[in-house]
Amino acid sequence: MHLNMSDQVSQMMAKMLKERIVYVPDPITDGVAQLVTAQLQALENDSEPASMYLTGKGGPTSAVIAIYEAMRATSYALRTVAMGRVEGWAALLVAAGQPGARCAGPTAHFVVGPPEVDGDGMDFQAYLQRVRSVSDTFCKMLAFHTGQSPESIAAIKQPRQLTAQEAIQFGLIDAILD
């Protein structure tokens, strides 16, 4: 029997979910957010820990916040694993994992700084207000998960590159995988 690519991906995702692994592809679209939140909710039937693997920049604010809120609502321990380059909103999702279980590969690197803000079709004043609001929310959330102050997060005006070791010191992760 010959499976097409869609069937192969579906089988792989089902196998990963059975092993309590959720993979968050890049970019995080509304469709990806719906799939990931459904997977996180499906894992509620068991109190065993689960793992969520992330890479990339994230995506639209609403999509990332949907995943973030689903993560926060889980009753099981959720380990987060950063792979490759993790930026902005995706870095926040890594940091939002279970304290003590947030990790990255040894060559992973992070980019933290002002978040990307979606605002297509908005007039300039409305967009500026949205940027301020989203940036403030992002800084508070990242500060909460890293142990830093919102002011120190907000003070990062340009994207800041961090190695996996520097990400530990920053408070994004707790360990580097072997």
Q: Tokens 């994230």 appear where? A: 58
Rounded CA separation 65/69 (Å): 6
b/e map 1-27, b = 16+ CB within 10 Å:
eeeeeeeeeeeeeeeebeebbbbbebe
CATH fold of the domain at 5-112+157-176 = 2-enoyl-CoA Hydratase; Chain A, domain 1 (3.90.226)
Global pTM exceeds 0.85: yes
pLDDT in tens, the chain (178 residues): 566 778 888 889 889 999 999 999 989 999 999 999 999 999 998 889 999 999 999 899 999 999 999 999 999 999 999 999 999 999 999 999 999 999 999 999 999 998 888 777 789 898 899 889 999 999 999 999 999 999 999 999 899 999 999 999 999 999 999 8
What is the Cα–Cα distance from 89 to 41, expressed in whole angstroms? Answer: 21
CA terminus-to-terminus distance, the chain: 38
44 Cβ neighbours under 8 A, 6+ residues apart: 74, 75, 76
Question: What is the structure's pLDDT at 158?
Answer: 92
Could you tell me the residue ranges of all domains in the chain? 5-112+157-176
Q: Which helix (H) or strand (E) holds 93?
A: helix 88-95
The total of other beta-carbon atoms located within 10 Å of residue 51's CB is 19
pLDDT at position 2? 66
